[in-house]
């Protein structure tokens, strides 16, 4: 049995081409479409004022001055339809007693109504606005005596928020998608490759052919690794064609380490499973856990301390963190240290998985009735 023979068996299955080419393309396209919604130019917020007092234009103008720009505009009382169809991401409602309460140094509330469309944008904007008002509370900005000396004018420009580099935030999610594709390819192929042989009776064929379980395992490992690695590189090339930029050596190292780790994990699942149903179930559960652990769709900073410590031993999380660090501040990151940490965690974990898999395979390669 040779690697070429095993690769030919794998590539005779249409599902292999789907995993290797179709899934990366779909992930990249869908990821670009969905994550582009985080662009600041797409954020549309309406302001509706219920305050009709003589000074309301001045006081509401103060609030508007915090959010000057094309993302915010006045709306009328019929704003609900615009929220429902996604024309607005959120509406800020200025209450009728806003001016009176402000000059009376009393607590007032500004209501915030999010849209059911692209709620992640309105939620993010809400958190930023709330924090901004919390920080301004107790300061001079809303002090009545200061307000009397203030004026707002459209001719006075607000500071422009920029990043250290001209960074496209839609590309920040590219590392997560590249590594998620690498992970899915390894788990989808690896978790079923050994159990499939067992169900088809091929393991008995290899036993009769005196194939060593070590040789058998590493042929499977090489095949799964090559497919996982290829899926990661294919997705990287697709992102590269869409403007994604990062050092090739870094992405090559990270994809290789992740392909090794997830290939070993997938083969471990396949080794310990007695049926395809069980291997598919375990593969799906672990895929979902690793997807959440990657930080692509979850807030890692809100996890308890033990959760953060646990994630520090998860290769896909460390890999995403490394690639994002390189993207955001390449000159200020200890890349060598991060890569060494990734390599140690990935290789040690993979070694443990390989040893367990070989122990399980050794028992499966024993002749029937060996223990009787």
Higher-pLDDT residue of 180 and 33 is 180
Q: What DSSP designation does 36 have?
A: G
The answer to whether residue 22 scores a pLDDT higher than 80 is no
Average the pLDDT over 74-101 and give the result.
79
Higher-pLDDT residue of 365 and 25 is 365
Per-residue pLDDT of 101-116, as tens digits, reads 766 667 777 788 877 6
Looking at residue 346, its pLDDT comes to 94
The answer to whether residue 272 scores a pLDDT higher than 60 is yes
Using CA of residue 93, residue 95, residue 99, residue 101, what is the dihedral sign?
Answer: negative
Per-residue pLDDT of 115-156, as tens digits, reads 766 665 667 777 777 776 666 555 545 555 555 555 444 443
Those residues whose C-beta lies under 8 Å from the C-beta of residue 337, and which sit 6 or more positions away, are none
Looking at residue 54, its pLDDT comes to 65
Q: Is the pTM of this model over 0.85?
A: no
Ordered structural domains, the chain, with CATH: 3-36+168-364 (no CATH), 42-147 (3.40.190)
The answer to whether residue 258 scores a pLDDT higher than 80 is yes
Those residues whose C-beta lies under 8 Å from the C-beta of residue 95, and which sit 6 or more positions away, are 50, 51, 101, 108, 109, 110, 111
The answer to whether residue 299 scores a pLDDT higher than 60 is yes
> What is the C-alpha to C-alpha distance for residues 353 and 286, in angstroms, rounded to an integer?
14
27 exposure class (CB count in 10 Å sphere: 0-12, 13-18, 19+): buried
The answer to whether residue 259 scores a pLDDT higher than 80 is yes
Per-residue pLDDT of 339-366, as tens digits, reads 999 999 999 999 999 999 999 988 887 6
Looking at residue 135, its pLDDT comes to 63
The answer to whether residue 215 scores a pLDDT higher than 80 is yes
Residues forming beta bridges with residue 46, ordered by sequence position: 73, 91
Number of other CB atoms surrounding residue 26 within 10 Å? 12
The answer to whether residue 85 scores a pLDDT higher than 50 is yes
Looking at residue 69, its pLDDT comes to 52
Cβ–Cβ under 8 Å, residues 342 and 313: no
Looking at residue 205, its pLDDT comes to 77
The answer to whether residue 186 scores a pLDDT higher than 80 is yes
Average the pLDDT over 159-179 and give the result.
62
| Percent of the chain at pLDDT exceeding 70 | 64
State the pLDDT confidence band at 371, using cuts at 50, 70 and 90.
very low
> What is the C-alpha to C-alpha distance for residues 311 and 293, in angstroms, rounded to an integer?
7
């Amino acid at each position: 049995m040779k690697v070429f023979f095993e690769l030919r068996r794998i590539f005779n299955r249409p599902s292999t081409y789907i995993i290797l080419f179709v899934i990366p393309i779909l992930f990249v396209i869908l990821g670009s479409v969905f994550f582009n919604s985080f662009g600041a130019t797409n954020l549309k917020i309406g302001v509706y004022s219920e305050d009709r007092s003589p000074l309301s234009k001045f006081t509401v103008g103060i609030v508007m001055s915090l959010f000057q720009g094309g993302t915010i505009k006045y709306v009328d009382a019929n704003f609900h339809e615009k929220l429902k169809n996604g024309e607005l991401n959120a509406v800020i409602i200025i209450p009728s007693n806003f001016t009176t309460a402000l000059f009376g140094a009393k607590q007032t509330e500004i209501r915030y109504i999010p849209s059911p469309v692209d709620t992640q944008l309105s939620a993010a904007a809400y958190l930023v606005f709330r924090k901004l008002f919390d920080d301004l509370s107790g300061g001079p900005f809303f002090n009545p005596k200061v307000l009397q000396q203030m004026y707002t004018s459209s001719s006075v420009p607000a500071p422009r928020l920029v990043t250290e580099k001209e960074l496209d935030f839609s590309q920040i999610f590219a590392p997560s998608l590249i590594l998620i594709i690498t992970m899915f390819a390894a788990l989808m192929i690896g978790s079923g490759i050994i159990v499939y042989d067992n169900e088809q009776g091929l393991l008995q064929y290899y036993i009769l052919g005196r194939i060593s379980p070590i040789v058998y395992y590493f042929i499977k490992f090489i095949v799964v690794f090559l497919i996982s690695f290829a899926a990661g590189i294919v997705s990287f090339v697709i992102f590269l064609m869409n403007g994604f930029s990062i050092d090739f050596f870094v992405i090559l190292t990270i994809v290789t380490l992740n392909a090794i780790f997830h290939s070993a994990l997938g083969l471990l699942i396949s080794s310990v499973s007695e049926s395809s149903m069980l291997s598919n179930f375990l593969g799906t559960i672990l895929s979902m856990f690793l997807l959440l652990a990657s930080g692509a769709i979850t807030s890692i900073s809100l996890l308890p301390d033990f959760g953060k410590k646990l994630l520090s031993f998860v290769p896909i999380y460390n890999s995403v963190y490394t690639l994002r660090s390189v993207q955001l501040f390449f000159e200020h990151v200890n890349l060598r240290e991060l890569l060494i940490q990734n390599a140690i965690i990935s290789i040690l974990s993979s070694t443990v998985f390989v040893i367990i898999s070989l122990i399980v395979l050794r028992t499966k390669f024993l002749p029937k009735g060996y223990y009787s």
